[in-house]
Structure 1
């Protein structure tokens, strides 16, 4: 029946983690709590039980609330397709694709869906914890805003402003935000907190007091750095905090420009016997790579051009000739084939591009998007596993006679004649402990982790960490 909103002084200040921790802390106190983010921009999406998609961060927050993900938790999802355009997903379903300059004209229409979803959550739960997007200090975007103060004012939800001290300049972040906000928007802010402090928090006592004095806002604490944050599914591909390891199976993931659903890799990063490298642009595929993963992409043909611009097509062919392995997931699977055709211009300009030619398949983009949770059986090991599909396009060709997996009687994915190149539309396969163990065993690696149990453990630890260092009772008491 009540709600509280966490906004940040900028992008990537830890809002998603703070909301997840607050959700779990509230749940541990016996409250029925749900997460909500009016608008998210991410190509890292989760399939919901009601057959839609939401941002992966809201799926994690739902887990923290012990709820299944639902499209009402993130009613507007923007999935970037180019530097200036994005697909607009509303309440789980694709509405349109639009250029950034045209998006503001859609916002009044989208606010109705945002308020509708929020009202349903508020009616069903004791507490809704809302996450803002970017920063309210972007006052040039305030008109028709649905993500930060526009939503907070419309729904009468109090705001706590989070600053990230690890970036430096946190005093200016918070005081400066107050300086640029309107009187109406400042009135919605009920306090502030400091995130990601490394070292002794008491060293910031004077700065903390200065912020409170300059703004007149009460502080709710200084949260020290949470070292296990990397073990939670990342919202941004750059946040995949794979630990540095000198040995083990070397898995290299190509960090494509429109990389999507990259949290597929999180479970591998936690395996002691795996060394995961997120390979950025301008770097060659290492000669000691054992497996190269081509991840999902929001723009398959665009990322094919990006991949070739890095010289990765040449590196990948050499890697396969040396006896290396490759796995393409969703868009990466499509890239491995002979061609990718988009006759209707669904992901960009209409046309057909040659693929990498490592799988004997061809892909045609189609207007219908497949969104479903899936139970499959890995063909090579006979291991059953859970995954999900979230893609457009259909792929077919001779290598489909050697499927990666089967879904009921249906073959899924493809495997090359030499067995070293595989492709599948199934995301989330590595989250399944049995599949991950069987897949790693094929490379002589013994799996040690229980991924879902690990995420639950980290969420509980995060809630305890926040209870120790923040005034959680005071924060929850703000909700109205």
Structure 2
């Protein structure tokens, strides 16, 4: 089977971006291509067509390849629930919680799942484009590696190494990473890609010549820095600000220690009439029209963090002055009276008080709800699409005032009697243009524009494929994918 792997010198070097670009570039040529990431550690996840859970980056890469997301695209997903532990998801299903030491030993078992998924994809598609994780030169993680060179060696595939020049030190990153690999791993690296370059390429050329002479590896190309570009982050919260029109809605979101699916807010960050601010630990809560409590992998612990950082008082003051409050998934659970975790799924067994703004309570259950859903938003009776990823079961009289009527007959979420507070289990609610517009109107933006976030994402995927054509050695790339230059077969 034809497999090409992209590894990076650091996190955020551009691995996800390059895999997305290659998937669309190959798809344009009529090549049957599929994305793959053996192991992903992220709290941003997506629900797949087969009812499982994978990293959101792989869902975007699937879109680039013209495919529906599938659990085989990301067979191992780790969702951190503490500084030393994580929920382990295999083939889309949560199987256990492990600390880092236990998981290090478990990786032998995890590799079996990785190779099973890769084998199935290799039989179904012409090319598998693989994304590594972090850096292959993490010496302390080399034993039993399944995310980088351990996988590449197991399936005997070529590797492209990408580095981000915008942060500085790009040549040290590339040469240093290569030096820390074993001889067989060094031979597996077939070329370099430099990402996010600004300026005159002629000034970089002496460095590129030196790099090729020093390593004996070709530079496959230099990708320019893209302005006004967005691709969903794998895990890190994107706090970049963009210029806005004068009439804006001020929105604030707390950056919880275990914030999950913060990609929910990407459509707001890109909306020309929304001034979105993420607020971290110790930072004052600024005045806002709308406060959004995001999803959380550890709801009770993150609720305690909110209280310790003054958010309970800030929310009370915000509502007293007429502001709107939205809770998504874990944020919805925080709005109720009680949150119980009798099975110790997200931390120590026990329960705690919620903010008590709505008359319902939540109990975390062993089975996680994973669904792609459609329905109608109670605000304006407009269509809404989204996805559910939660272990909580919420019950109580407040839920009779549902926020969403789902097409499968279920009711989701709640709107308070005074209309100030809204909660929902649905992620991705701002991606449906008409629903997003109604929610912004509810929050106080009277002349809200309709923005199609999915169209913006598709536009940027196309831009990435254009960059491959314009700036990378496509002849060598096709050869590395096992394709002939002429036919694409």
TM-score between both structures, scaled by the size of structure 2 = 0.95
Provide Cα deviations, 1:288-336, integer angstroms capped at 9, x if missing partner: x001011111110111111112111111111111100010000010111
1:478 paired to 2:480: yes
Q: How does 1:221-236 map to 2 (within 5 A)?
A: 221-230=221-230, 232-236=231-235
Contact 2:237–2:262 (CA under 8 A) maintained in structure 1: no
Provide Cα deviations, 1:6-33, integer angstroms capped at 9, x if missing partner: 0000111111011101111111111111
Q: Distance in 2 between matches of 1:330 and 1:56?
A: 17
Question: Counterpart of 1:354?
Answer: 353
Q: CA RMSD in A?
A: 1.3
Question: Counterpart of 2:38?
Answer: 38
Q: Distance in 1 between matches of 2:439 and 2:304?
A: 30
Q: 1:398 offset after TM fit, Å?
A: 2.4
Contact 2:260–2:294 (CA under 8 A) maintained in structure 1: yes
Question: Counterpart of 2:304?
Answer: 305
Q: Distance in 1 between matches of 2:64 and 2:240?
A: 20
Structure 1: give runs of 5+ residues left out of the alignment. none
Choose which of 449, 456, 459 in structure 2 pairs with 1:457: 459
Q: 1:114 offset after TM fit, Å?
A: 0.4
Q: 1:247 offset after TM fit, Å?
A: 4.4
Question: Counterpart of 1:328?
Answer: 327
Question: Counterpart of 1:49?
Answer: 49
Q: 1:439 offset after TM fit, Å?
A: 1.9
Structure 2: give runs of 5+ residues left out of the alignment. 483-489
Contact 2:436–2:450 (CA under 8 A) maintained in structure 1: no
Runs of 4+ displaced beyond 6 Å = none
Q: 1:203 offset after TM fit, Å?
A: 1.5
1:102 paired to 2:117: no
Contact 1:195–1:225 (CA under 8 A) maintained in structure 2: yes
Of residues 189-198 and 237-246 in structure 1, the stretch that sits farther from structure 2 once superposed is 237-246
Question: Counterpart of 1:365?
Answer: 364
Q: Distance in 2 between matches of 1:380 and 1:451?
A: 20
Question: Counterpart of 1:143?
Answer: 143
1:18 paired to 2:18: yes
Contact 2:291–2:325 (CA under 8 A) maintained in structure 1: yes
Q: Distance in 1 between matches of 2:236 and 2:352?
A: 26
Q: How does 1:338-417 map to 2 (within 5 A)?
A: 338-408=337-407, 409-417=409-417
Q: Distance in 2 between matches of 1:272 and 1:155?
A: 46
Q: 1:475 offset after TM fit, Å?
A: 1.7
Contact 2:342–2:351 (CA under 8 A) maintained in structure 1: yes
Q: Distance in 2 between matches of 1:173 and 1:361?
A: 52
Provide Cα deviations, 1:248-271, integer angstroms capped at 9, x if missing partner: 011111111111111111112222
Question: Counterpart of 1:264?
Answer: 264
Provide Cα deviations, 1:106-157, integer angstroms capped at 9, x if missing partner: 1111111101100111111111110000101112211110000000000011
Provide Cα deviations, 1:138-190, integer angstroms capped at 9, x if missing partner: 12211110000000000011001111111111111011111111112111111
Contact 1:257–1:303 (CA under 8 A) maintained in structure 2: yes
Contact 1:285–1:316 (CA under 8 A) maintained in structure 2: no
Matched residue SS, 1:327? strand
Q: Distance in 1 between matches of 2:325 and 2:199?
A: 42
Question: Counterpart of 1:87?
Answer: 87
Question: Counterpart of 2:468?
Answer: 466
Q: 1:237 offset after TM fit, Å?
A: 3.9
Q: 1:399 offset after TM fit, Å?
A: 1.4
TM-score between both structures, scaled by the size of structure 1 = 0.97
Matched residue SS, 2:437? helix
Contact 1:87–1:94 (CA under 8 A) maintained in structure 2: yes
Question: Counterpart of 1:199?
Answer: 199
Matched residue SS, 2:195? strand
